[in-house]
Amino acid sequence: MFLERIAIFTIQLRAKLQDFFNYLLRETDSQLGQIFFTCCILVFTALLLYVWITPFSLWFQICYTIIYLFTSLVFISGIYFIVKRKRIRTKSNSFEVYTLDHDSLSFHHFNLKVIPITEEKTQTIFKAFSGNYFTSGNYRSFQFLVQLKPVVPEKRLQWVDLSPKRPKQANRQTLLEFLSHLFIGFKNLDNRQIIIFVEQYFQLKNPKGNLQHLSTKNISDWRTNEAAYLRGISEIFKNL
């Protein structure tokens, strides 16, 4: 029983750490990842100086120095990865860093199913949300979304709806609400699956045209959000 509890705790801790680091790496538009790793380097450097100017035993000083070198390598690697990935996004105008085989990518294993709609209603939904919520003129990409077929990054829909509280930010809440009404089972996906799904079909852009990204916190906030602007999405679907 004791070993079982340790195993469960280890798995839960690993999942939390993975979500935390994914969050840091995804929030690069706000510089959060770079700031976090830089602060860690400064703190560990200050501790290193303190250890060597304070009369600790030599073995303790050597051990901490080894730990410092290892952790500094991790932090510097994190900063390098974030900066490099951000440059790739800027040059390629795409969120993806690594090449994916989009022809073989499928989301049917996510247990998603589009709501019962005809081709005519698909066009109606597209027209209802085009312009105010996502950029119009790319109906083929919307068809691929409804059919759960992969879309190349250059053809993704651009979600341009802005947050009422933060007008310089794309409104991730309305995007998630839109998808939850379009797909049966969307709310049952875990946060990681939702992020993967959104990244495949949508780009988030602010008024300046800068790419923004979905985080696990955005999804957690959406699950408990009862704002009026989300009810507006529901009303559009009801009136179709």
Residue that has been written with the tokens 């704002």 in this structure? 227
User: How much is the average pLDDT of 129-139?
Assistant: 80
Positions of E strands within the chain: 113-114, 157-159, 183-184, 202-205, 211-212
Q: Are 117 and 184 in contact (CB under 8 A)?
A: no
Confidence of residue 153 (pLDDT cuts 50, 70, 90): confident
H-helix segments, 130-227: 139-147, 172-182, 191-201, 216-223
Q: What is the mean pLDDT of residues 28-43?
A: 75
Position 101 scores a pLDDT of: 41
| 105 pLDDT above the threshold of 50 | no
The whole-number pLDDT of residue 212 equals: 85
Looking at residues 24-42, what average pLDDT do you find?
69
Average pLDDT in the chain: 79
Q: Which of 75-89, 120-134, 183-197, 220-234 has the lowest mean pLDDT?
A: 75-89
Maximum CA extent, the chain: 78
Report d(CA 66, CA 208) in Å as an integer. Answer: 45
Mean pLDDT of 33-43: 84
Give the number of other Cβ atoms within 10 Å of residue 152's Cβ: 14
* C-alpha dist (Å) from residue 229 to 75, 76, 185, 232: 40, 41, 22, 5
For position 239, what pLDDT does the model report?
Answer: 85
Closest to 159 (Cα-Cα) out of 113, 100, 214, 79: 214
pLDDT tens for each residue of 169-196: 889 999 999 999 999 999 999 888 899 8
